[in-house]
Amino acid sequence: MSAPFVALEGLDKRFPGHHAVRGIDLQIAAGEFVAIMGPSGCGKSTTLRLIAGLDEPTGGDIRIGGRSMRGIPAFQRDTPMVWQSLALFPFLTVAENVAFPLRMKKVGAAERRRRALEWLDRMGLSGMADRDIAQLSGGQRQRVAIARSLVTQPSILLLDEPLSALDAHLRVRMQTELSRLHKQLGITFVYVTHAQSEAFALADRIVIMSDGAIQQVGRPQDVYREPVNAFVAEFMGMNNILRGTVRGASANRLAVETPLGSFDVPAKETRPVDSQAAFVIAADRIALAAAGAAGGLDATVIGLEFVGSTQTVFVETASGHEFRIQKQQHEIEALDLAPGRQISLSWEPRHAWLLPDSR
Amino acid sequence: MTGSPPPGAADRPGSFFIGSRSTAGSPAVFPVLLGLPVLLWQLIFFAGPLVFLVVITFWQVKSFRLSPAFVADNWEKVLTSTAFLRALGHTLTVAGTTTVLATAIALPAAYTIAFRLPPRLRDFAVAFLVVPVFSSYILRIYAWQVVLSPQGVINGIAGLVGIEPLPLLGGAFSLQIGLLTLTLPIAVLILTFGFAGVDRTLIEAAENLGCRRSRVVAHVLLPAIRPAIALAATTSFLLAFGDYVSPLFMTGSKPPTLSIVVVDTVKSGSQWPRASVVGVSMLLILVAVLALGQLLSRRTRLRRGGR
Amino acid sequence: MATRILPRLSRLAQHLFLAGLFVFIAAPMLVIVVFSFDANRFPTIPWGGFSLDWHRAILEDAMVRDAFLNSILVGLGTAVLSTLLGFAAAYVDYRWRFFGKRAFVLLVAIPPAVPVTILGMAMLAFLSRLGLFGRLEAVIACHTAVASSFSMALIRLRLNDFGRDLEPAAWNLGASHAAALFTVVVPFCRPALIASFFLSAAVSFDEFMIAWFVGGVHETIPVRILNLLQGQVNPKINAIGTVVLAVSIALVVLAQWFVGVRVGKRTDPT
């Protein structure tokens, strides 16, 4: 990567009785769309607030455009944020809200109005300029909030779970809108969310955080297929984790003995015999066959879940290990699945992914 | 009440408080700049005078001049004087009576406002009650004087139908009329808000279980608003205990209440320390009553928590 | 059927009781207004006929005129200062956590709970030592110490509805702390600030013990009334009372108008 636009260097934030961000390092290129994900309380929102200067770090530094942000107050950073609560000013009209940052920059009234209207136009809100915020729908408010953040032409936009208050239909539309804006403006977007679908649809790279630390950074599909540890594998969902002991190692291959049997797992590095190992098989890479199929793992169907044309099958082996299998509807129709039915699972060894951090 | 942060403020990691967190470059002078004038103002014009009042209870009057000292003389003289003790007993009785009357009258009235009136009328009733809390007390007492006096409105009407003038003014009756004029509006308001704050599902649940309305009131409503009752009662007591106007105009200061004693002693000129002793004693009694009120409303909470 | 009649009677009794209470509270005010237009010298039944004499008389009474003027000055001063201090106190309470905060809030909240007789005496004793006694400024200062409690309560209540993100959002959009205070916090609190202005004016306009003790020769209108009442029966009092009533009721009603008093929660969005 060329010189990063935003660099977090050992960024650390302690609150009394709570270590929110534990010395993280992260580099974001100019124009990149980065999504920070993690369970609630993982430090993702605090990280965003630290970048915006709304919280003061207890250690480390933030550089934006090469400049250290240490001691620079929030209002001098030009790091506008779109808030989960939107934080629109209820006592100002739509246009006044959008013009607010310009007013703070002492831009003249006529010019403020002109630029606010321009942005409202751009966000499809023409004719709403003089309405009260209370008169707008949820989606319209969201657009006002975005327009207000972009009216000063910043080089970075921070978004803190901006779509979580919208219903599913609107969320998808706003996602498209954000993506379009990002491409048009070419500025850096840092997007905090707990919704995988948003991050996958929008981000160039995703950052997975847990307990104040970064677990993994990478392209969405890489993080999905090649999680570094059990936390990421579980957080990304739809991964089945198997744990066992290394019984044999050859070039690019480990034999791992698990309570369910011995499995072949591809490995980039070699591991000592008798060490612990964990590997994952993605839910969509497990094949199903009628019970008793040779080389298969017998299990009982315990539940089914439909999402559109995709079906998730929950099964349990005799020893009590649970698997999730994801298939297209048409792929499994022939199997005639129902809870209680016996089934056989299998996967190609090359689809097993050894967790680099196998704790 | 005003001291507690809004719910959810403390548990949000994004909130912003000095002491627990600070924003980058946030000036710590800000709270000082805003808070200091308030602090100084209240210290000079409220706390200072009260502290000074305590101080001069230990001062001496020498040849009609107040001079700093540290003697318990004034306390001894006042606390052992029968005039003071009689006034104290009278004031406590009067304020106690007002407290009981005000609470007893306000309870059914507040109940009717909270549960029987349609919303629009309920808001109007509250707005109506707020007005006398903040206005024209002295005038309303004067009006009662006009109504109750021997040549007043009531006796005027009585005279028209041939009834002898009634001695309405100048006794315990007129004094309570005056003090209820002072206490009833606020007592009804406090209890109305108490009733309005009760979870309606609680009442509906009790009624669904076959409870009669009177039993719902006794076993569900009254226990639920006990803190409001305690607040209404202590407020009534506080107002009646310290009032100067009703005793002055409704009974002609006979017998005197403690407030009358304070004002008379001050206006007579030289006996500031003794007036201060009376004033400080009154404050101590009020603190005790407030503490009692707190205790009464808290005990309910503890008991409810234990269930 | 008998079981139906009893609850109905009980409801009727409840409404009658409430009506009786309202009459008790309203009667004194009505008496003053009615007799201010009475031609008789002594207010009693029967009414002596309609007359504006007493209203005219107070216009010619210099002491009453001065008292009104003093009350207006004191009321205005108190309203402005109390709203400023009440806002500062409410905002400090809302925004920061610090050692001794409970004591700070209590110091502003508690003055109305102290009997004005004692407060007046204490203020007179203390302020005369500071050389502040006998001036309208002293009355304003003392009234402010009491009224700021109501101002703080009104504004603090409003701040409860102030979105936690609004102020940080303003900083984030380029507002300094001072700018955010004036462009976001103050505008948000505006209804409560206006209500506080009227209510503290009403509190000051109605207060007589502190004004009596601290004001010295400068009488406010309730002090004038108090002094008139202690003298001979004076039919002017009804006329003064009518004007005072009109002013203070208007102030309190205006204050309520701006905060929008509501009992309990409403199901309908109006």
C32 falls within a domain? no
Picking from A225, A247, A268, the residue at the C-terminal end of a domain is A225
A140/A165 Cα distance (integer angstroms): 12
Picking from A196, A225, A254, the residue at the C-terminal end of a domain is A225
| Range B77-306: architecture per CATH | Orthogonal Bundle (1.10)
Cα angle vertex B227, ends B95, C200, to 5°? 70
- Is the predicted pLDDT of residue B175 greater than 50, yes or no? yes
Q: Give me the number of domains chain C comprises.
A: 1
Which pLDDT belongs to residue B5?
A: 37
C21 and B184 within 8 Å at the Cβ level: the answer is yes
B279 and C117 within 8 Å at the Cβ level: the answer is yes
B108 and C14 within 8 Å at the Cβ level: the answer is yes
- Is the predicted pLDDT of residue C237 greater than 90, yes or no? no
Among the partner residues C168, C176, C187, nearest to A91 by beta-carbon distance: C187
A73 and B20 within 8 Å at the Cβ level: the answer is no
User: What CATH number does residue C239 fall under?
Assistant: 1.10.3720.10
* Residues A37 and A182 placed together within one structural domain of the fold: yes
**Residue B235 C-alpha, separation from nearest chain C C-alpha, in angstroms:** 8
**Residue A87 C-alpha, separation from nearest chain B C-alpha, in angstroms:** 13
Tell me the mean pLDDT in the region B114-120: 91
Interface of C with B in 228-267 (CB under 8 A): 229, 237, 241, 244-245, 248-249, 251-253, 255-256, 261-264, 266
Residue of A nearest to C182 (CA): A104
Give the count of Cβ contacts less than 8 A between chain B and C. Answer: 289
pLDDT in tens, chain A (359 residues): 567 899 999 999 999 889 999 999 999 999 999 999 999 889 999 999 999 999 999 999 999 999 999 989 999 999 999 999 999 999 999 999 999 999 999 999 999 999 999 999 999 999 999 999 999 999 999 999 999 999 999 999 999 999 988 888 888 999 999 999 999 999 999 999 988 889 999 999 999 999 999 999 999 999 998 999 999 998 987 789 999 999 988 878 889 999 988 899 998 888 888 889 999 999 889 988 888 877 788 999 998 888 777 888 999 998 889 999 988 887 777 777 888 888 999 999 899 999 988 76
User: Which pair of tokens denotes residue B78?
Assistant: 């006042």
Residue of A nearest to C179 (CA): A104
A298/B203 Cα distance (integer angstroms): 57
Among the partner residues A73, A80, A85, nearest to C173 by beta-carbon distance: A80
Which pLDDT belongs to residue B66?
A: 81
- Name the 3-class secondary structure at A81: strand
Which pLDDT belongs to residue C260?
A: 76
Among A276, A272, A250, A206, CA closest to A349 = A250
- Cβ A88 vs Cβ A133: under 8 Å: yes
A105 falls within a domain? yes
B15/A330 Cα distance (integer angstroms): 50
The string of DSSP letters for B76-93 reads HHHHH-HHHHHHHHHHHH
C193 falls within a domain? yes
Which pLDDT belongs to residue B6?
A: 37
Residues of B in contact with A76 (CB under 8 A): 25
ipTM score assigned to the predicted complex: 0.90
- Is the predicted pLDDT of residue B4 greater than 60, yes or no? no
Tell me the mean pLDDT in the region B34-56: 96
Which pLDDT belongs to residue A93?
A: 96
Residues of A in contact with B22 (CB under 8 A): 55-56
User: What CATH number does residue A141 fall under?
Assistant: 3.40.50.300
**Residue B135 C-alpha, separation from nearest chain C C-alpha, in angstroms:** 5
A16/B22 Cα distance (integer angstroms): 12
B46/B51 Cα distance (integer angstroms): 9
Long-range contacts of A70-73 (CB under 8 A, 24+ apart): A71/B24, A71/B25, A72/B24, A72/B25, A73/B23, A73/B24, A73/B25, A73/B26, A73/C171, A73/C176
Which residues constitute the domain of residue C145?
Answer: 55-259
pLDDT category of residue C262 using cuts at 50, 70 and 90:
low
Identify the burial level of B2 via C-beta atoms within 10 angstroms of its C-beta, where 0-12 means exposed, 13-18 middle and 19 or more buried. Answer: buried
pLDDT in tens, B257-270: 999 999 998 888 77
Which pLDDT belongs to residue C84?
A: 98
- Can you give the residue ranges of every domain in chain B? 77-306
Q: In sequence order, which residues have a C-beta less than 8 Å from that of residue B25 and are 6 or more positions away?
A: A53, A56, A71, A72, A73, A74, A76
Residue of A nearest to B19 (CA): A16
* Residues A252 and A323 placed together within one structural domain of the fold: yes
- Cβ C110 vs Cβ C149: under 8 Å: yes
* Residues A201 and A294 placed together within one structural domain of the fold: no
- What are the backbone angles phi and psi of residue A299, rounded to the nearest 5°? -155, 165
A359 falls within a domain? no
* Residues A193 and A320 placed together within one structural domain of the fold: no
C120/A68 Cα distance (integer angstroms): 58
**Residue B264 C-alpha, separation from nearest chain C C-alpha, in angstroms:** 11
* Residues A122 and A254 placed together within one structural domain of the fold: no
* Residues A137 and A269 placed together within one structural domain of the fold: no
CA atoms within 13 A on the CB side of C114: 30
- Is the predicted pLDDT of residue B105 greater than 70, yes or no? yes
Question: In chain A, helix, strand, coil percent, each to 5?
Answer: 30, 35, 35
CA dist B103 → B55, B106, B111, B234, C150 (Å): 36, 5, 12, 10, 24
Among the partner residues A18, A20, A53, nearest to B24 by beta-carbon distance: A53
Residues of C in contact with A85 (CB under 8 A): 163-165
Tell me the mean pLDDT in the region B20-48: 80
Picking from A225, A260, A281, the residue at the C-terminal end of a domain is A225
Which residues constitute the domain of residue A178?
Answer: 6-225
A1 falls within a domain? no
Please tell me if residue C166 touches chain A, with a CB cutoff of 8 Å.
yes
Q: Give me the number of domains chain A comprises.
A: 2
A342/A324 Cα distance (integer angstroms): 15
User: Which pair of tokens denotes residue C171?
Assistant: 């900083």
A22 falls within a domain? yes
